[in-house]
Amino acid sequence: MTDHPPINVLFLCTHNAARSILAEAILSHIGKGRFRAFSAGTQANADHRPHPLALEALQSAGVSTAGLRSKNWDEFSAPQAPRMDLVITVCDDAHGETCPVWPGHPAIAHWSYPDPMLAEGDHDALLEMFKQVMHRMHLRLELFMNLPLASLDRLVLESHAKELSAQH
């Protein structure tokens, strides 16, 4: 555990069904109490269910899927929402949309990943695409976690998060 409050990170994607869910679960899994991960979508799935292959990929890696659900980003712009320190879009469509005004004016970054829901093939080929995206996210999040985040202000945090967008 750490002497500093955890850093709240919100991952955004269009439907909050695959990439943002993967990022939330991975950071929650490896965050070691230094981070609290959340995810949301600009147009969250109406049934609030993440993509089944996203859940299967996470479970195959030993990452908990408990409590994961597709959420609309409005949930995090409400006054009672947790205050975010960093908001990261993980799909190009969500990156291009006008975001709500987030309470506390968090740092913003964009990390582009291919949409595994657009892949074609049999179950094994599709699952492999989800696993590849998950692996790339895990590598980038490991780098992110190694930053001295407790001593960084919002602008430096944003700068470091944007630098990581060019990696992996």
pLDDT tens by residue, 83-119: 998 999 998 765 566 666 777 778 888 899 999 999 9
Q: What is the pLDDT of residue 97?
A: 62
DSSP labels for 52-100? HHHHHHHHHTT---TT----BGGGGTSTTSPPPSEEEE-SHHHHTSPPP
Quote the CA–CA distance of 129 and 120 in Å, as a whole number: 9
* Residues β-bridged to residue 47: none
Question: What is the DSSP code (8-state) at residue 49?
Answer: P
Q: What are phi and psi of 33, to 5 degrees?
A: 80, -10
Question: What's the topology of domain 7-147?
Answer: Rossmann fold (3.40.50)
Q: What is the pLDDT of residue 34?
A: 87
Q: Say how far residue 25 (Cα) sits from the centre of its chain.
A: 8
Mean pLDDT computed over 44-61:
94
| Tens-place pLDDT, residues 4-33 | 788 899 999 989 999 999 999 999 999 988
Quick count: other Cβ atoms within 10 Å of Cβ 125? Answer: 10
Q: Which is it for strands 35-41 and 7-13: parallel, antiparallel or unpaired?
A: parallel
Which strand (E) or helix (H) includes residue 48? none
* Residues β-bridged to residue 86: 9, 107
Quick count: other Cβ atoms within 10 Å of Cβ 23? Answer: 28
| Exposed / middle / buried, residue 34 (Cβ in 10 Å: 0-12, 13-18, 19+) | middle
The three-state secondary structure class of 106 is coil
Amino acid at 74: D
